[in-house]
Amino acid sequence: MPAANTASSYGSVARTFHWLTALLILAAWPIGLIANNLSHQILDPQVQVTEAQILRTVFLFSMHKTLGVSVFFVALARIAWALTQPRPGLLNADRKLESGLAETVHWLLYGSLVLVPLSGWIHHAATTGYAPIWWPFGQSLPFVPKDAAWAEIAGGVHEVLTKVLLVSVLLHVAGAVKHHVIDRDATLRRMVTGRGADTPVPAHGHSLVPPVLALVLAGLALVGGGYAGVYGHASGATGGGALAEVASDWTVDEGSLQITVQQMGSEVTGSFADWTAAISFEPRDTPGSAGTVEVTVAIPSLTLGTVTSQAMGGEYFDAEAFPTASFVAEILRTEDGYVAPGTLTIRDTPVAAELPFTLELDGDTARMAGQMQVDRMDFGIGSGVKDEKTLAFGVTIDVALTATRGAGG
């Protein structure tokens, strides 16, 4: 069998690309549906899930994503090969409406085969908290930041164009069956066996109408997705009542409170949007007590990538039963700097903790940054997940703030 196309038949390379693409799609599609259904169960804060369920869902999502990225590269290679080859003519070219619709579906197919996996990859790259794409593909993409807005837009585009791809595939299959069963021509045989090269091909040209129509249809689908709200489902803080202001000798002007966990070997960083700090502090140059600090954190204000809802559930933070956490500590000046030894309470479980931090003073303005490590198991967080390859025990807490003396209280 010749590798190259002719004006009336497909070569072995084009046929291999066609069926390899079909095989990858037929594998990726149901795996993605199953994984998505399982993820809804896992991310439901009211559902008690097992470690085995998490591992199974992550495995299926990783397989789906890896197959999807494979589709992307196979599609690019297929398009590159097609650009170097003659394009076999349509056997129904003399039926203008039918052949025009067939070409429109082909344009939708080619566009979807590139954009569906690409939008999924962008969503993955922009998201924190994910099932990893397997080697040799990476987790990040150039120019794609870890950003919830990017993730929700890319995820919405992926969702819409997946439906465009599905419709295109179904129309493509229906057309092939119609050619084979009703028209009894060589259209399907040309792609399956390469036979039918001697079949006369009606003369016809190619117009801009099919690609333009395909572009319009895809655009309408994306606009419809906007009206359906598919671009506004990013995982975020689950809300809850805001914490009341507290009296403090130092008022926090700006700051961040973040946690970082290792999930499936990848770092996932989240932040709390609502927390307060009551600070009593007097700078000193010699070792000794310099004040006290009491931090209260609204647990429902946490944003932790795609696993935010799961983190709020009873197996983890159990935000409904334990809506706040606290850190109460003394501030000590040491020979090397400052440290705050005290008690960290999460899920009403007090655990001794120590926060070393750096401090810069500029008159009545103070800037501090500190980091401490805790073990989630000490607080009963994710106690059912005992494999550190799934979810590491260690959690890093980072805090940074700028405060002004005398503005509070």
d(CA 331, CA 282): 9
Range list of H helices, 95-199: 96-126, 148-177, 187-192
pLDDT of residue 48: 72
Question: Residue 245 has what DSSP assignment?
Answer: P
d(CA 391, CA 265): 8
Q: Give the tokens for residue 121.
A: 């990859």
Largest separation between any pair of C-alpha atoms in the chain = 96
Query: What is the domain partition of the chain in residue ranges?
Result: 12-228, 250-405
> How many Cβ atoms sit within 10 Å of the Cβ of residue 195?
12
In the CATH scheme, what architecture does the domain 250-405 have?
Answer: Beta Barrel (2.40)
Mean pLDDT in order along the chain per 10 residues (409 residues): 86 96 96 91 72 88 96 97 91 88 95 97 86 87 89 94 97 94 91 79 81 96 93 56 89 96 85 96 94 97 85 90 97 95 98 97 96 97 88 96 78
> How many Cβ atoms sit within 10 Å of the Cβ of residue 271?
15
Q: Give the tokens for residue 355.
A: 């926060």
Which residue in this structure is represented by tokens 């052949």? 99
Residue type, 81: W
d(CA 244, CA 274): 10
Who contacts 22 (Cβ-Cβ below 8 Å, separation ≥6)? Answer: none
Residue type, 409: G
d(CA 303, CA 269): 9
Cα-only R_g, the chain = 29
Q: Give the tokens for residue 310.
A: 């799961």
Q: What interhelical angle do 96-126 and 148-177 show, nearest 10? A: 150
Which residue in this structure is represented by tokens 């085969």? 113
d(CA 302, CA 322): 13
| Cβ-contact 13, 4 below 8 angstroms | yes
pLDDT of residue 235: 46
CATH 1.50.10 fits 12-228, yes or no: no
β pairing state of 288-298 and 302-303: unpaired
Q: Give the tokens for residue 20.
A: 């390899």
d(CA 189, CA 26): 21
| Cβ-contact 17, 78 below 8 angstroms | yes
Peptide bond connecting 136 to the previous residue in cis, omega within 30 degrees of 0: yes
Please give the backbone phi and psi of residue 271, each rounded to the nearest 5 degrees, phi first. Answer: -140, 150
| Cβ-contact 305, 127 below 8 angstroms | yes
Three-class SS of residue 66?
Answer: helix
Length of the chain equals: 409
d(CA 250, CA 405): 4
